[in-house]
Amino acid sequence: MDDIIIAILRSGTPLVYVTLAGVIAQRAGIWHLGLEGLMIAGACATILGIVFTQSIVLALLIAVGVCMVASVLFWFVVEKLKANQIIAGLGLTGLGLGGTTLAIESIFGSQAAVSAPFGLPRIGPFFGSFGNLSILVLLMPFFVFAFWVLLRRTRFGLRLAAAGEHPYAARSVGIEPSRIRLAALVIGGALCALGGAELAAGSLQFFSQNMTAGRGFMAFAAVIFGAGHPVGAALAAMFFAIVGALGIRAQLVFGDRVPHDLLLGLPYIATVIGIWMSARLRGGAKAISGFGELRDN
């Protein structure tokens, strides 16, 4: 039983961090399809940081910095150059996937996976069989709670929501929606970096190209599933992780009877079902509908 929970936490934690980034962007009025790109940039920067600085703190700072800078770029393209945010987000994802491959190719001369000598600090033997989990797993619930407070119980959160839902209302009380979105994207960038770091250095300690494998898009789905609520979206992300872990379990048990590909596809099938359900659940579709249109007259 323990190992199933460990597997769920390992695969769910990176997803939760990236989901929180998607939640804050979405509440500020941006459908963030660049999550995948930021996540892989964070993963790559963390491993390269460890390799070149031999310090996990410096590596994390580099990863957070890279993702924040990329987020500012995304903001500039969307808000200043007025590009379509869906296209710009997909562009950012492409930039992340291609840029990281290019980076390891040009540094190491091959596209092979890059291993790091060590990863994120572990939470320690005090936690028994869970001791091998990284510190970011332990911090994850605190981040979810902090985001809930920030988004639902502070004036900053209200302004963020106003900028997303009704930019003209925000402007008429002196809030600049564009600046609020910059703040949201930069905070989100940092979260994506942590998600990427946990993915590459939490249990694995290596980076390989395209290793995020669509997790950024799954996080995006969790944002919709959770109707833009940080706790709901985090639970949705964990739900996807549970389905994924059970899928791997199922392979071991039913591997010879059920097609392998079908079991591997379970998390993605769960995502589709989740999105479909979110439209059915009371409040889900309604709470989210205001974000599609950006009223500003």
Partner 1 sequence: MSETTAAVLDCHDVTVRFGDVVALSNVSVSFASGAIHAVVGQNGAGKTTFARVIAGLIDPDEGSVRISGRDMPKGSVNDARRAGVELVHQSFALPPSFTVAEAMQFGGSGGKLYTRSQLERRWQAHLDALNINVKAGQRIRDLPVESQQSVEIARALVTDAKLLILDEPTAVLSPEGAEKLFQRIRHLKSAGVTIILILHKIREVLAIADTVSVLRGGKLVEGPVACSGIDADKLSELIIGPSARPLDEDDRAALTGSASSLHTHVGVSGKDGAAPPILDMKSVSSAPDGDGPPLTDVSLAIRPGEIVGVAGVEGNGQRTLVRALSALADVESGTIALDGRQVTTLPLQGRRIAGLRVIPFERNVEGLSLTSSLWENWSARKLLQGSLLSWIRPSALRSECKSALDAWDVRYATVAQRAGSLSGGNAQKVILSREMDEDARLIIAAQPTRGLDIGATAFVWNALDQARRRNCGILLISSDLDEIMDICDRVVVMLSGRIAGTFEPPYDIARIGAAMTGVTHDR
Instruction: Name the minimum Å distance from CB 174 to partner 1.
Output: 4
Instruction: Identify the residue among 171, 246, 249, 251 touching partner 1 (CB under 8 A).
Output: 171
Instruction: Name the minimum Å distance from CB 64 to partner 1.
Output: 23
CB-based burial, 53-92: b 16+ in 10 Å, e otherwise:
eeebeebbebbbebbbebbebbbebbbeeeeebeebbebb
Instruction: Identify the residue among 55, 84, 115, 154 touching partner 1 (CB under 8 A).
Output: 154
Instruction: Name the minimum Å distance from CB 67 to partner 1.
Output: 25
Closer by beta carbon to partner 1, 115 or else 172:
172
Closer by beta carbon to partner 1, 80 or else 153:
153
Q: What is the pattern of x (binds partner 1, CB under 8 A) and - over residues 221-240? A: --------------------
Instruction: Name the minimum Å distance from CB 25 to partner 1.
Output: 17
Closer by beta carbon to partner 1, 138 or else 158:
158
What lies within 8 Å, CB to CB, of 9 at 6+ separation is 130, 133, 137, 241
107 binds partner 1 (CB under 8 A): no
Closer by beta carbon to partner 1, 84 or else 154:
154
166 binds partner 1 (CB under 8 A): yes
287 binds partner 1 (CB under 8 A): yes
178 binds partner 1 (CB under 8 A): no
Closer by beta carbon to partner 1, 246 or else 287:
287
122 binds partner 1 (CB under 8 A): no
290 binds partner 1 (CB under 8 A): yes
142 binds partner 1 (CB under 8 A): no
Number of residues that bind partner 1 (CB under 8 A): 22
In angstroms, what CA-CA distances link 70 with 38, 86, 288?
Answer: 7, 16, 26
Of 165-173, 181-189, 203-211, 252-260, which segment contacts partner 1 by CB under 8 A?
165-173
Number of neighbours of residue 94 by Cβ within 10 angstroms: 13
Instruction: Identify the residue among 48, 165, 181, 187 touching partner 1 (CB under 8 A).
Output: 165
Instruction: Name the minimum Å distance from CB 285 to partner 1.
Output: 10
149 binds partner 1 (CB under 8 A): yes
Q: Which long-range contacts (CB under 8 A, 24 or more apart) does 175-183 make?
A: 177/28, 177/29, 177/296, 178/79, 178/80, 180/28, 181/25, 181/28, 181/29, 181/30, 181/75, 181/78, 181/79, 182/72, 182/75, 182/79, 183/28
- Site residues for partner 1 per CB under 8 A: 149, 153-156, 158-159, 161-162, 165-166, 168-175, 287, 290, 297
